[in-house]
Amino acid sequence: MKAKITTILCMPVLLLSACRMGISAEGLPTGTPAPIITAALPASATPFVIDTPQTLPAAPTAQPLLGATTTRINIRSTPNTAGDIIGVLESGQTVEITGKDPSETWLQIIHNPAPGGKGWITREFTQVESQLDVPVIGASGIMLEGTSLPSGSQTAVLLETVHVRSGPGTEYGSLGMLTSQDVVILTGRTESGSWFQIEYPGGPDGKGWLAAGYVDTGPVNSLAITDNSGQLLGTQTPTGVPPTPVPPVITAAADEDTAQSPAVRITLSSAASRAFSFSNDLSSPNGDRKDWLEFKVDQFPKGEPVTLLVSLECGWDGSLATELRLDGQLLENWSSIRCSTEKRPLNVLSGSSYLLQLEIASPGSNLQYIYYTIRFNMP
């Protein structure tokens, strides 16, 4: 921050003069006194009364917390493993913690050799004696408590280790890897909502793409919709306009998914991806009324029962109805998934592919719009 400077004009008194200048200490290191320069008036001089503006007090700044590393770790430029290594800390080394990422898995520390004097280390190998009461900061160094992200973007946390790709699909080349619990900034999405565009310094124009199923975030209907080349197609809600409790008068974009070509295909396994989430919107009577998701559990031995925990969070107006099919056959006796934040058990057979259909529960003549996020977890 720039120091605020307040100057009081010098007023002549007889043949003597005096000046007083106050410099508020905003932006100066904590504990640095604001310098004051004075020239005393002679006792014989008649005081000349003027209104002296008050010097503003220094802006409060969060005090760094002390911590110590428990092993030899890298210091990175961003709160994820894609960040450049900008230093190394030895085991037992003291650090000054100035911030944390939204998932509290990465800590921002003072690292003077780095641009901006800050760096990031993983909390897993950092011991902190007191409560982690420091500001929450995003992947681009943006403070998330009390300030806002750039218009039309939002943060998210990764559920698994994933490839960052140059485009929205597995046919695009990998730009690198991000690991579970890394924090990313979402800047766009495909029309189907199955891929997210993120800020990624190593990608074309500083962008990359992630499969949406491995990203945990809130409603994304305000994100820009882009084509495969990243060109803007539009938004479901105007960028920069905050959501209101009134259901939007919009329809869900048709994403062309069918039972034969579902929106996503999910594979869960104890050895790889144990969690998956998918977000999209539906509307009726106009717009996209149904979504299909295919999932299976890849775990040995095949045919053994496996219990998943599933939650379905819904927003805006109305509710969703779900159907489950196994090998094309509709299952009648199963615990239906309903709109709720509660995790419900779902019993499936290992190695079998299931098809989940979601649709507006009670379609009518009035427009209904629902945004949902469904999450699968292996306990």
Q: 198-255: per-residue pLDDT in tens?
A: 988 888 888 999 988 788 877 777 788 877 666 666 554 433 444 444 444 567 777 7
Quote the pLDDT of residue 358: 92
Q: Can you say whether the dihedral through the CA atoms of 62, 66, 68, 72 is positive or negative?
A: positive
For 325-358, how does the pLDDT look when each residue is reduced to its tens digit (9 = 90+)?
A: 998 889 987 767 888 878 888 999 999 999 999 9
pLDDT at 21 exceeding the cut of 80: no
CA 25 remoteness from chain centre = 33
pLDDT at 162 exceeding the cut of 70: yes
Q: Residue 78 corresponds to which amino acid?
A: T
Confidence of residue 149 (pLDDT cuts 50, 70, 90): low
Q: What is the rounded CA–CA span in Å between residue 311 and residue 278? A: 11
**Residue 120: beta bridge partners?**
76, 108
Cis, bond preceding 248 (omega within 30 deg of 0)? no
Please choose, from the candidates 302, 259, 309, 255, the residue with its C-alpha nearest in 3D space to the C-alpha of residue 281.
255
The answer to whether the predicted template modeling score (pTM) of the entire model surpasses 0.75 is: no
Is pLDDT larger for residue 87 or for residue 228?
Answer: 87
Residue partners of 128: CB distance under 8 A and separation at least 6? 65, 66, 67, 97, 107
Confidence of residue 119 (pLDDT cuts 50, 70, 90): very high
Quote the pLDDT of residue 27: 36
**Which tokens hold the place of 310?**
């599933």
CA 279 remoteness from chain centre = 15
Quote the pLDDT of residue 109: 93
pLDDT at 11 exceeding the cut of 80: no
For 27-57, how does the pLDDT look when each residue is reduced to its tens digit (9 = 90+)?
A: 334 444 444 444 444 444 444 343 344 333 3
pLDDT at 15 exceeding the cut of 50: no
pLDDT at 281 exceeding the cut of 90: no
CATH 2.60.120.380 assigned to domain 264-377? The reply is yes
Q: Where are the domains of the chain?
A: 5-38, 65-128, 154-235, 264-377
Give yes or no on whether 65-128 and 154-235 have one common fold. Answer: yes
Lowest mean pLDDT among 127-141, 183-197, 279-293: 127-141
Cα–Cα distances in Å, from 311 out to 6, 119, 277, 331, 377?
57, 36, 9, 19, 9
Quote the pLDDT of residue 113: 92
For 179-190, how does the pLDDT look when each residue is reduced to its tens digit (9 = 90+)?
A: 777 778 888 888
**Residue 18: beta bridge partners?**
11
Please choose, from the candidates 373, 319, 322, the residue with its C-alpha nearest in 3D space to the C-alpha of residue 346.
322
Please choose, from the candidates 188, 180, 268, the residue with its C-alpha nearest in 3D space to the C-alpha of residue 233.
188
For 56-85, how does the pLDDT look when each residue is reduced to its tens digit (9 = 90+)?
A: 333 345 588 899 999 899 998 888 776 788
Q: Which helix (DSSP H) or strand (DSSP E) does residue 100 occupy?
A: strand 94-100
Quote the pLDDT of residue 361: 84
Half-sphere exposure of residue 145, counting CA atoms within 13 Å on the CB side?
A: 10
What is the CATH T-level fold of the domain 154-235, as seen in this structure?
Answer: SH3 type barrels. (2.30.30)
Burial zone of 185 (CB within 10 Å; 0-12 exposed, 13-18 middle, 19+ buried): buried
Quote the pLDDT of residue 150: 64
What is the CATH T-level fold of the domain 65-128, as seen in this structure?
Answer: SH3 type barrels. (2.30.30)
